Amino acid sequence: MIPVAILGGSGYTGVELMRLVAGHPQLELVKVTSRQYEGRPVASVFGALEGAVALNFCAPDPKALAQAAKLVFLAVPHQTAMDSAPDLLAAGARVVDLSADFRLRDQAVYEKWYAPHTAPELLKEAVYGLCEHYRGEIPAARLVANPGCYVTSVLMPLIPLLKQGLISADGIIADSASGVSGAGRKAKEGLLHGEIAENFKAYSVTGHRHTPEMEQELSLAAGQEIRLTFTPHLLPMDRGILSTIYVSPMDGVTEGDLRSAWEAVYHAEPFVRILPKGSLPATKEVRGTNRVQLGLATDPRSGLIKLFAALDNLTKGASGQAVQNANLMLGLEETAGLGELALTP
Amino acid sequence: MIPVAILGGSGYTGVELMRLVAGHPQLELVKVTSRQYEGRPVASVFGALEGAVALNFCAPDPKALAQAAKLVFLAVPHQTAMDSAPDLLAAGARVVDLSADFRLRDQAVYEKWYAPHTAPELLKEAVYGLCEHYRGEIPAARLVANPGCYVTSVLMPLIPLLKQGLISADGIIADSASGVSGAGRKAKEGLLHGEIAENFKAYSVTGHRHTPEMEQELSLAAGQEIRLTFTPHLLPMDRGILSTIYVSPMDGVTEGDLRSAWEAVYHAEPFVRILPKGSLPATKEVRGTNRVQLGLATDPRSGLIKLFAALDNLTKGASGQAVQNANLMLGLEETAGLGELALTP
Amino acid sequence: MIPVAILGGSGYTGVELMRLVAGHPQLELVKVTSRQYEGRPVASVFGALEGAVALNFCAPDPKALAQAAKLVFLAVPHQTAMDSAPDLLAAGARVVDLSADFRLRDQAVYEKWYAPHTAPELLKEAVYGLCEHYRGEIPAARLVANPGCYVTSVLMPLIPLLKQGLISADGIIADSASGVSGAGRKAKEGLLHGEIAENFKAYSVTGHRHTPEMEQELSLAAGQEIRLTFTPHLLPMDRGILSTIYVSPMDGVTEGDLRSAWEAVYHAEPFVRILPKGSLPATKEVRGTNRVQLGLATDPRSGLIKLFAALDNLTKGASGQAVQNANLMLGLEETAGLGELALTP
Amino acid sequence: MIPVAILGGSGYTGVELMRLVAGHPQLELVKVTSRQYEGRPVASVFGALEGAVALNFCAPDPKALAQAAKLVFLAVPHQTAMDSAPDLLAAGARVVDLSADFRLRDQAVYEKWYAPHTAPELLKEAVYGLCEHYRGEIPAARLVANPGCYVTSVLMPLIPLLKQGLISADGIIADSASGVSGAGRKAKEGLLHGEIAENFKAYSVTGHRHTPEMEQELSLAAGQEIRLTFTPHLLPMDRGILSTIYVSPMDGVTEGDLRSAWEAVYHAEPFVRILPKGSLPATKEVRGTNRVQLGLATDPRSGLIKLFAALDNLTKGASGQAVQNANLMLGLEETAGLGELALTP
């Protein structure tokens, strides 16, 4: 068993990591930190883990984590992650960071959307952890920047199409919706059951922080600058993201060509499910799993092609992909510990 | 009190009509039909109406309805509506049809999307019941075609902008999501709680039947043919539609210009709420009401403008608007019986 | 229009009061306070009230409230209510207190379950505002103590049966469940959508604060001390309480006798709906209304009789009953402003 | 890999069995039947199983099933199960029946609550599959009757206490609530999202069919006839049962004694989690798992002790327990394939 640790275990990505590591055949959780719950048994906070995680939450001490664990997951907010990563790496641990701190390659872009960066020297070293597209670089990486949840749902369908020049790089619109766990486990009025249930609305419509991350990776795939129109919405449910993406096919390109491009790239991918014509992704079918479902259809009125991608924002959109990255970094089977299927219903 | 009747009282639009008529100061429900429940007290099927609707469901007999009532609401499926409307009109009743049967002015378009039309002679006479835009014609109408739910959410924000030529008629995308009551009260596996809760997905993505109705009215507003890209989604909740609409402003036109156009047309409308900059429509805030909330924002990456419209698919999207039409037809205060506010939470 | 004010408008009972007063034909809201939102327009916090409540939240100043309003609703937490009530009364306002501060007639009991009482001289004067049972005293009251939500659901079915000695005063068990709005609009982790959805659990099982209030009123009805077994549960929904109550009929007493007792007391009550044999209360049928649904059935194995009562915890269980009390105090029709029916669905 | 088959794969217990068998290290699903979906790929009906179950649904042919599989799960309604079981056994298969057909040892009791029994000769042979209490008999059984969902939640806390005579056999009340998947995947109006969401109500309050099954097993444990008061309720959620059980301790018996009795019997049970004092079961913490959570508290007013048990009605309450039984019958590790933890949130 390979010892791993989690910095920041009190949020939803932290507890999802604990769940996945507890069921992993080769990883063992040796430490999990939380300022809020320091000293308390994990199972007293998260009853679902009772009998599966016997640890108490401990204080966040990077050196102690790096001594105890070969790999540390950072499940803390941005800013906190960049403060801890250098110490963890210096102490010999490898790191999968679930925050945004090392996802943007350009320090200026990061600082425009977030805040001053205190560990810019690591931006070059960090590998972007979208496993299906960076599988070559992840195994040797010391520091992996785990992609954002919305971002994964937008990149997975678009990257193969842009790389092959099948769709226009202009005018792409990503209309996405997420379950409320994407906003974290924060005691805010806006996240109460009373505000979420039987409600649907858009938010951050003039600039969600996932936009530059999407544009960075899409531009790399397209070989030209992409400016994306992105609109996130908040769903009355816990988990799941669906992105509906409007693209303009290049002259003569058909829906079938896009499907073929997906199949060429993804046919052997264990976590990517390309749905047959007529079937459309549904968040419930991937809930709690590391899967992405992809589907597409041509709009007969406009000729635009609609792409659909569904995933669980906490699993493939965060902690599941983090474990997938850890598997690659540690030389394990990429699917280890990630085989669960969604519940029906 | 003016006597009214409902043809088809066993579905969700039927029961919503009963609720609204029961609270209306000048309308009295004298008959409500249902083949399924014939002879049973309404309150034994819909407990919420106990003590407010004392009728039993009766068989659907157009002549008897027309004799008893001055105005009949048709809350039956398309095809059934066109079979009853001529008889009701011939017998002297006025009719508000909540189905699609008289919404499309062109018989050929109707027959392409639905089925052969058995009362095409009424298509010209029927008035399209989008009250805010057809208020001049509704009072004298014998037959009002009540607009579709998605349609209302798309027309309300777009008509003023197209009429004034502020946005391009090309490339409009309407990305919409509806609560499950929009699919009706049908015993289908796909509508079970187990299939809907914690799920989000698109459907009818290559041709929802509301598309030609939207295109008809948008084309009239624009003075040119509009081809719309429309994508409906199914939300894990009972009631509410949010449409997120992507439009391209004409050269030099700003978000402020669009807002001004809305205000010019809608400032005195009791059921249209234009939200201040920075506020966005939320379905919960209009749940159970006849309101439409409108909001907008400019996408800084693409320059597209995003329009947002929220309404309750059963109220402003169906039965509330039908009562609003009835009020106009009967010379009553347009807002009579429609003053309820949404619950919080 | 009679001017009324609300002390504490930022919680769920406060916003429910605003909704009900906005729809009331004879009451006008002239002031609503909130420390948290002081100075902000009400509609900017509660979008559902846009166009219906034009006030800004103001600071809590009892004298100003009493000058502006004839009657003040206290929608603040216990302790805060007892601090304000004496000043409001002294300044000439009448008061409906939605907190627990004046519900318990015995100061010692209050202090055992809550905290030291700072206005004990008002305990004797306060009238317990269970309208159907204290209608004689409410009209002249200066201070009405509005009953608790669970309490109302337990007292309504039990009081007539205990008064007539039809059931044993011993061994009554009330097993209740409430939607999460009963816990208020507080930014707590335990009230997040992620903790509530798809979850069901009991809480406060060894002593919920509503217990002494239930026991006080039940004992008065029975003419002997009642010790009640009460278990509250938290439901994955916003609004609604269902209480399932197990009682032992006296020798020879049948289910029909209990039903007759209910009918004798409640047959003319506008807000009490006694369901026919075979029908059972459902929270959705009373959602957003001031109704209580009652039903009952005999358990064939044990001979116990099961009583069922459903209400909306924020309406008949709080703000609706408060308006009912205000109507009685102000000489208005008791049902004024309280006629709404529940939505289906 | 041991070949197993499922008779009746179109319902919720069928698809839950498929999910569990797909993740089981030693079982392989070789056939799954459905009249409704015969010939269709499983994954086209249940998208969550795509890539994990490659079979098509086949017609229900007991001989073919018995030839292909060593063990057959019956996930069909009662009556259908008793028609198939004899043929399957005769053809050499072992059977775990998830219906009620072989749970009641007394044919007369079965026929009183259900219908005439067509395979009464098997009633004696069938072993009641409550694994924690019939572990000795299950391994050799040809036919195991898998317990009911509510029943499991009531038996698990009560059996140890009755066996040791710690509580009175009289006056036990079980107040239970279940998610809607307990009603199956049937296209009925009462199970639509619109009828379930934001609703809570009791049903079958004068005689739910799980009552005789509970009484049979409780009477066996107590060594005397038990007559139980049982009230089921329907929750606005998909999965989960919570039973709140009121028991009267024998003289001198304390809450601690009950806890000790549980610990003596269950301390090594992998699927039984006894919560520490002050913690209470929550359905979300066992969702999708084979766990039962137990908790208890003493009511200070009445001296009654409240027992709480939470489980997932489709897993430990049906298909999970069925796999647990299959593991015992086939000589596998009892926990094989049943290690999943609940999602948070």
Cα distances from A33 to residues A146, A337, C326, in angstroms, run: 19, 22, 53
Which residues lie below 8 Å from residue A119, measured CB to CB, with a gap of 6+?
A82, A83, A85, A86, A101
Query: From the CA of B314, how many Å to the nearest CA of chain D?
Result: 12
Half-sphere exposure of D312 (CA within 13 A, CB side): 30
With beta carbons less than 8 A apart as the criterion, state whether C315 and C322 touch.
no
Yes or no: say if D175 and C299 are a contact pair by the CB < 8 Å rule: no
How many residues belong to chain A? 345
Q: Does C47 touch chain B (CB under 8 A)?
A: yes
Which of D46-64 are b and which e, b meaning 16 or more Cβ less than 10 Å from the residue's Cβ?
bbbbbebbebbbbebebee
Contacting residues of B for A240, CB less than 8 Å apart: 198-200
With CB atoms and an 8 Å threshold, state whether D242 touches C200: yes
Q: Which amino acid type is present at position D312? A: D
Of D305, D303, D302, nearest to D294 by C-alpha is D305
- Is the minimum CB–CB distance between B37 and chain D shorter than 8 Å? no
Answer whether B194 sits within 8 Å of D185, measured CB to CB.
Answer: yes
Residue B217 is which amino acid? E
User: Cα dihedral sign for A152, A154, A156, A162?
Assistant: negative
**Residue C282 phi, psi dihedral angles, 5° rounding:** -140, 130
**Of C52, C181, C282, which is closest to B341 when you measure between CB atoms?**
C52
Q: Is D46 on the interface with A (CB under 8 A)?
A: yes
Which residues of A fall within a CB distance of 8 Å from B244?
175, 202, 231, 233
Q: How far is CA A25 from CA A1, A3, C146, D209, D323, in A?
A: 8, 12, 58, 42, 21
The 10s digit of each residue's pLDDT in C185-239 is 999 999 999 999 999 999 999 999 999 999 999 999 999 999 999 999 999 999 9
Residues B147-159 have a mean pLDDT of: 98
Structure tokens at B91: 């017998």
pLDDT at residue number B129: 98
CB-based contact D193 B189, cutoff 8 Å: no
Q: Which residue from C minimizes the CA distance to D174?
A: C175
Sheet holding C2-7, edge to edge: C27-32, C2-7, C71-74, C94-97, C143-145, C127-128
The two tokens of residue A308 are 């659909």
Model pLDDT, residue B94: 98
List of residues 6+ apart from A223 with CB closer than 8 A:
none
Residue A131 among the catalytic residues: no
pLDDT in tens, B290-323: 999 999 999 999 999 999 999 999 999 999 999 9
Contacts of B13 in chain C (CB under 8 A): none
Average pLDDT over residues B33-52: 97
Partner-chain contact D237 B197, CB within 8 Å: yes
A201 touches chain C (CB under 8 A): no
Q: Are strands A94-97 and A143-145 parallel, antiparallel or unpaired?
A: parallel
Beta strands in B94-207 (DSSP E): 94-97, 127-128, 143-145, 173-178, 201-202
Nearest Cα neighbor of C201 from C170, C162, C244, C231 is: C231
Q: Count of B–C CB contacts within 8 Å? A: 86
What's the pLDDT score for residue D345? 98
Q: Is residue A287 a contact partner of residue A239, using CB atoms and an 8 Å limit? A: yes
- Give residue A55's pLDDT: 98
List chain A residues with CB under 8 Å of D191: none
Asked if A187 lies within 8 A of C187 by C-beta distance, the reply is yes
Please give the helix or strand (H or E) that residue A288 lies within, else none. Answer: none
Return the sign of the alpha-carbon dihedral for residues B11, B16, B19, B22: negative
Helix (H) or strand (E) holding D321: helix D320-329
Minimal Cα–Cα distance from C307 to chain A, Å?
29
Q: Hey, what's the torsion of the CAs at C299, C302, C303, C307, to 10 degrees?
A: -50
C-interface mutation test, from A15, A46, A192, most C Cβ less than 10 A away? A192
pLDDT band at C75 (very low <50, low <70, confident <90, very high): very high
Query: How distant is the Cα of D336 from the closest Cα of chain A, in angstroms?
Result: 13
Contacts of C201 in chain A (CB under 8 A): none
Q: Which chains touch D (3 or more CB pairs under 8 A)?
A: A, B, C
> pLDDT, tens digit, for every residue of C53-68?
999 999 999 999 999 9
3-state secondary structure of D276: coil
Cβ contacts of C193 on chain D, cutoff 8 Å: 345
Percent of chain B at pLDDT > 90 equals 100
Q: What is the pLDDT of residues C131-187, one digit of tens each?
A: 999 999 999 999 999 999 999 999 999 999 999 999 999 999 999 999 999 999 999
Low-confidence ranges of chain A (pLDDT < 50): none
Ranges of chain D with pLDDT below 50? none
Chain C residues with CB under 8 Å of D211 CB are 301
Query: Looking at chain C, which residue has its C-alpha nearest residue A195?
Result: C193
d(CA A114, nearest CA chain B) in Å: 17
* Banded pLDDT at C13 (limits 50, 70, 90): very high
Six-digit token pair at A269?
């991918």
Establish if A189 touches chain C: CB-CB under 8 angstroms.
yes
Q: Which residue has the tokens 């996405």?
A: A176
Say whether C239 and D310 touch across the interface (CB within 8 A).
Answer: no
Q: Percentage of chain C surpassing pLDDT 70?
A: 100
* Closest CA in chain D for residue A278: D44
Interface test with chain D among C176, C192, C204, C205, by most D beta carbons within 10 Å:
C205
Minimum distance, in Å, between the CA of residue D200 and any CA atom of chain B: 14
Catalytic residue among A6, A71, A126, A149: A149
Residues in chain C: 345
Nearest-angstrom CA–CA distance, C172 and C129 = 23
Q: What is the pLDDT of residue C71?
A: 98
Which 3-state string (H, E, C) describes chain C?
Answer: CEEEEEECCCCHHHHHHHHHHHCCCCEEEEEEECCCCCCCEHHHHCHHHCCCCCCECECCCHHHHHHHCCEEEECCCCCHHHHHHHHHHHCCCEEEECCCCCCCCCHHHHHHHCCCCCCHHHCCCCEECCHHHHCCCCCCCCEEECCCHHHHHHHHHHHHHHHCCCECCCCCEEEEEECHHHHCCCCCHHHEHHHHCCCCEECCCCCCCHHHHHHHHHHHHHCCCCCCEEEEEECCCCCCEEEEEEECECCCCCHHHHHHHHHHHHCCCCCEEECCCCCCCEHHHHCCCCCEEEEEEECCCCCCEEEEEEECCCHHHHHHHHHHHHHHHCCCCCCCCCCCCCCCC
What is the CB neighbour count within 10 angstroms for residue B113? 17
Of B210, B216, B228, nearest to B133 by C-alpha is B216
CA distance B104 to B111: 10
Q: Who among C15, C288, C341 is closest to B52 (CB)?
A: C341
Chains with ≥3 CB–CB distances under 8 Å to A: B, C, D
The Cα–Cα gap between A105 and C130 comes to 65
